[in-house]
Amino acid sequence: MTPNPVSISETASLAEAAALLGSKEISGLPVVDASGSLVGVLSQTDLIKAQANPELSANWRGLPVGEIMTKPALTIPSTAGLDEAARLMGERRVHRLVVTDAAATPIGIISASDLVRSWLR
């Protein structure tokens, strides 16, 4: 997993999110509310869908992240094994899961790329 994930506020604009994804060279972000609680996930795919949607495309850069994020965020406890993460990603057809501690606080992200790297070791 990637610890200490970069996150974004649900009120941030899609332009801000796209810039953050690009500058950090990542493909998804946990989305948090004003209190810092996890409320969703934003992926590059979400951005592409928003831009391709005729109802959203004219102003997609100014839309708040909360309008297009995937919610609720799919999470997995830090105590889960890699096989469980792979099974959940496959069943839900997602590329990443937010890893949470015992208090359900996000502590990392596990991605499909992380799984593949672990299998190659």
Q: Which helix (H) or strand (E) holds 66?
A: helix 65-68
Q: What is the pLDDT of residue 54?
A: 86
Question: Distance between CA atoms of 58 and 51, rounded to whole angstroms?
Answer: 8
Residue 11 corresponds to which amino acid? T
Read off the pLDDT of residues 66-92 as tens digits, 9 standing for 90 and up.
Answer: 999 999 999 999 999 999 999 999 999
Please give the residue range of the domain that contains residue 8. Answer: 2-120
Question: Distance between CA atoms of 64 and 27, rounded to whole angstroms?
Answer: 18
100 phi-psi bin (left φ>0, alpha ψ -120 to 50, beta other): beta
Read off the pLDDT of residues 29-54 as tens digits, 9 standing for 90 and up.
Answer: 999 999 888 999 999 999 999 989 88
Question: Based on the structure, what is the number of domains in the chain?
Answer: 1
- Does position 17 have pLDDT exceeding 90, yes or no? yes
- Does position 99 have pLDDT exceeding 80, yes or no? yes
Q: What is the pLDDT of residue 65?
A: 97
> How confident is the model over 58-63, as a mean pLDDT?
88
- Identify the CATH number of the domain in which residue 91 sits: 3.10.580.10
Residue 81 corresponds to which amino acid? G
How long, in residues, is the chain? 121
Q: How confident is the model at residue 56 (pLDDT cuts 50, 70, 90)?
A: confident
